[in-house]
Amino acid sequence: MDIFAIFSDKIKNTLKEIYGEEILDNELLAKIAVEPPRSLAHGDISTNAAMVLSKNLRQNPREIATKITDYFKNDKNISSIEIVGPGFINFRLKNKIYHSLLSSILSLGENYGKVDMGQGERVNIEYVSTNPTGPIHVGHIRGAVFGDALASLMEFVGYDVVREYYVNDAGGQIDILAKSAFLRYRQALGEKIGEIEKGLYPGKYLVPIGQDLAVKFGDKLLTKPEKESLEIIKPIVLKAMLVLIKQDLAKLNIRHDIFFSEQSLHGKDGEIEKTLSWLREKGLVYQGKLEPPKGKLSDDWEDREQTLFRATKFGDDSDRALVKSDGSYTYFASDIAYHREKYLRGFNKQIVVLGADHSGYVKRLKAAVKAISDGKAELDVKICQLVRLLRDGKQVKMSKRSGELVSLAEIVDEVGPDAVRFIMLFRRNDAPLDFDFNLVKEMSRENPVFYVQYAYARSCSIFRTANRELPDLDLSIDALRRADISLLTIEEEIALIKLLSTWPRVLKAAAKTHEPHRIAFYLHELAAGFHGFWTRGKENPDLRFVNHNSLSVTLARMVLVRSVQQILGTGLRILGVSAPSELS
């Protein structure tokens, strides 16, 4: 039961009755918002319908609003209607509609608010996709958590989701990785390697790989030409790095269905060749020169005749190079082929999660997907901004050059996966985020993950208290369904039910915009409302959930507690955060 969806349909049907369906097209009706007003003092539901229709109907918005309100005056679920400002309409609903909603939440369980938005449509969500040259560090965690939570959200609302990791196993960084592993191999054989050569990966995570190579090959690799040895080492170290990455991701309960190899796109008959050939047939590849970028010259600009993709035809700021001066393909050529390969696998809906340093790629990736799908595929690129680690009020310094990066494993081992996941989602993905080690270990309301989990644990505790203090009171689901919910009439009770009523709307908005942070925000707001009601009960015994003076009121309030518990549990599961029944 979605109150806002119900009233949206009512308002739109009313408009069709007043003005006729031929005047109101679906595109116009889609602009009508039916939502909670900014202030609860203004009512329960607000709509901008009159202002949306004013221009098309050539009528004053308040005149349209008056006609709408006249239609609703006899609605038995509405206690009052008010026209405010230029033509907003505010509705106040009678308590009985919220009582009905609460019964519905209890009956539907986890399915309350669940809508089949996706209708089984396939969607590919690519996330993490860090270079397989070392363990996952803090710079990758946010995108990993974001992508995983988004995938769960999209699954919850009916999409057929494939979670994909693009393994960047082609290019110069893999050659450097093999050289770095070869150095550790020599070290394992007893050679004094001294200071790690600049340009190689200095991380100690390669030490055990070097030791494994020494056990496997002895000193045989030293007797071969280095180039030959590196070709032997390369697949071994890549496999080891992927194992390490998967182990790191498992610490955050992050999984992928597919690990797609960039190498598979290369080769004489590979997807890059096929894609460029296809683009040439379409007239989308040509030989030409790129104008120098305005301001400081970028590293990838070259003053020469080269193979270019007509990206500007599809909304990009510049055409893009496909072949480097040494004859190898650019990263963008691989990107085009990869997204075409996704499209050919049947993914008309694609989502890519990238780090802050890739914000300049958005337009070119969207242009590529438009081109390779003839405009049939849809791509949404979500950029996750930087995370700043804080400890004791000071920023934790990281150094790529020294190899002393703060790893995912270190962070999870210190604060646990729940804290990492929730905090990474408790801010918009496109806004910078501070991760305060001290804060996330606090057991206080200032720590958002604790605050929400404590609300869930408190709901469980209330049931334990009721069972202990009122052992003869039946608190089974069947008994709760028979409870007289009409007894819930005080302001705090209705306010909490009103908050529950917005859950379906939050779910739909989060899924539509691909913004799982909306779920985290809502859970925190619901937790605040629940904790606030509980605190009022400490001050006033009549407001306690377990009311010894009235078993009927207690039973009705337990329906409210169960509903809060249910939604908190569902939301936390979507975010991949546990819902503990007790907190130590």
| 133 lies in some domain | yes
Lowest mean pLDDT among 20-24, 238-242, 446-450: 20-24
- Token pair listed for 419: 């804290």
DSSP state of 117: S
Task: Render 339-353 in DSSP notation, one character per residue.
Answer: HHHHHHTT-SEEEEE
- Token pair listed for 15: 């408009």
Q: How far is Cα 1 from Cα 33, in angstroms, rounded to an integer? A: 18
Lowest mean pLDDT among 126-135, 481-490, 509-518, 561-570: 126-135
Look at 302 and 306; give whichever has higher pLDDT. Answer: 306
| 276 lies in some domain | no
Does residue 37 carry a pLDDT above 60?
yes
Counts for the chain of helices (H) and strands (E), in that order: 21, 15
Closest Cα to residue 184, out of 403, 449, 35?
403
Q: For the chain, what percent of residues have pLDDT higher than 90?
A: 67
Residues in the chain: 584
Average pLDDT over residues 293-300: 64
| 327 lies in some domain | no
Contact predicate 449/423, CB 8 Å: yes
Q: How far is Cα 70 from Cα 88, in angstroms, rounded to an integer? A: 14
Phi-psi region of 10 (alpha: psi -120 to 50; beta: other; left: phi over 0): alpha
DSSP state of 476: S
pLDDT at 15: 83
Lowest mean pLDDT among 16-25, 171-180, 200-209, 246-255: 16-25
Q: Say which CATH number the domain at 481 has.
A: 1.10.730.10
Domain endpoint, select from 404, 422, 441: 441
Does residue 245 carry a pLDDT above 50?
yes
Per-residue CA distances from 175 to 133, 203, 568 (Å): 10, 16, 48
Domain endpoint, select from 411, 441, 471: 441
| 269 lies in some domain | no
Give the pLDDT band (50/70/90) at residue 112: very high
pLDDT in tens, 390-441: 988 888 876 544 455 688 888 999 999 999 999 999 999 999 999 998 999 8
Lowest mean pLDDT among 138-147, 237-246, 404-413, 439-448: 404-413
- Token pair listed for 213: 């190579």
Does residue 177 carry a pLDDT above 50?
yes
| 329 lies in some domain | no
Alpha helices by DSSP H, listed for 224-345, are 226-251, 271-281, 331-344
pLDDT at 23: 67
Same domain, 424 and 485: no
Same domain, 140 and 122: yes
Residues 6+ away with beta carbon under 8 Å from 21: none
pLDDT at 541: 87
Contact predicate 186/206, CB 8 Å: no
Contact predicate 45/91, CB 8 Å: yes
Contact predicate 452/572, CB 8 Å: yes
pLDDT in tens, 474-503: 999 999 999 999 999 999 999 999 999 999
pLDDT at 269: 80
Contact predicate 165/439, CB 8 Å: no
| 520 lies in some domain | yes
Does residue 131 carry a pLDDT above 60?
yes
- Token pair listed for 125: 């969500």
Determine the 3-state secondary structure of 378 from DSSP.
strand
pLDDT in tens, 334-382: 999 999 999 999 999 999 999 998 888 999 999 999 999 999 999 999 9
Q: Say which CATH number the domain at 146 has.
A: 3.40.50.620
Lowest mean pLDDT among 123-137, 297-311, 367-381: 297-311
Same domain, 455 and 432: no
| 345 lies in some domain | yes
Same domain, 143 and 83: no
Q: How far is Cα 581 from Cα 301, in angstroms, rounded to an integer? A: 57
Q: How far is Cα 311 from Cα 301, in angstroms, rounded to an integer? A: 15
Q: How far is Cα 28 from Cα 21, in angstroms, rounded to an integer? A: 11
Same domain, 249 and 362: yes
Structural domain of residue 131, as residue ranges?
A: 116-258+335-441
Same domain, 426 and 511: no
Same domain, 434 and 454: no
pLDDT at 292: 78
Q: For the chain, what percent of residues have pLDDT higher than 70?
A: 97
- Token pair listed for 578: 């546990």
Global confidence as pTM: 0.91
DSSP E strand stretches across 289-386? 306-309, 320-321, 349-355, 378-384
Report which secondary-structure segment, H or E, holds 535: helix 517-539
Q: How many domains does the chain have?
A: 3
Residues 6+ away with beta carbon under 8 Å from 193: 183, 184, 186, 187
Average confidence score pLDDT of the chain: 91
pLDDT at 301: 65
pLDDT at 300: 63
Closest Cα to residue 347, out of 447, 257, 451?
257
Same domain, 147 and 249: yes
Domain endpoint, select from 58, 93, 128: 93
Same domain, 425 and 564: no
What burial letters (b/e) apply to 21-54, b meaning 16+ CB within 10 Å? eeebeeeebeebebebbeeeebbbbbbbbbbbbb
Look at 1 and 230; give whichever has higher pLDDT. Answer: 230
Same domain, 217 and 365: yes
Average pLDDT over residues 235-263: 95
Does residue 122 carry a pLDDT above 50?
yes
Contact predicate 309/336, CB 8 Å: yes
Q: Say which CATH number the domain at 24 has.
A: 3.30.1360.70
pLDDT at 402: 46
Average pLDDT over residues 36-49: 86
| 26 lies in some domain | yes
Does residue 298 carry a pLDDT above 70?
no
pLDDT at 107: 92
Same domain, 348 and 391: yes
Q: Give the distance from CA 90 to its chain's centroid.
A: 32
- Hey, what amino acid is at 68? I
Same domain, 341 and 392: yes
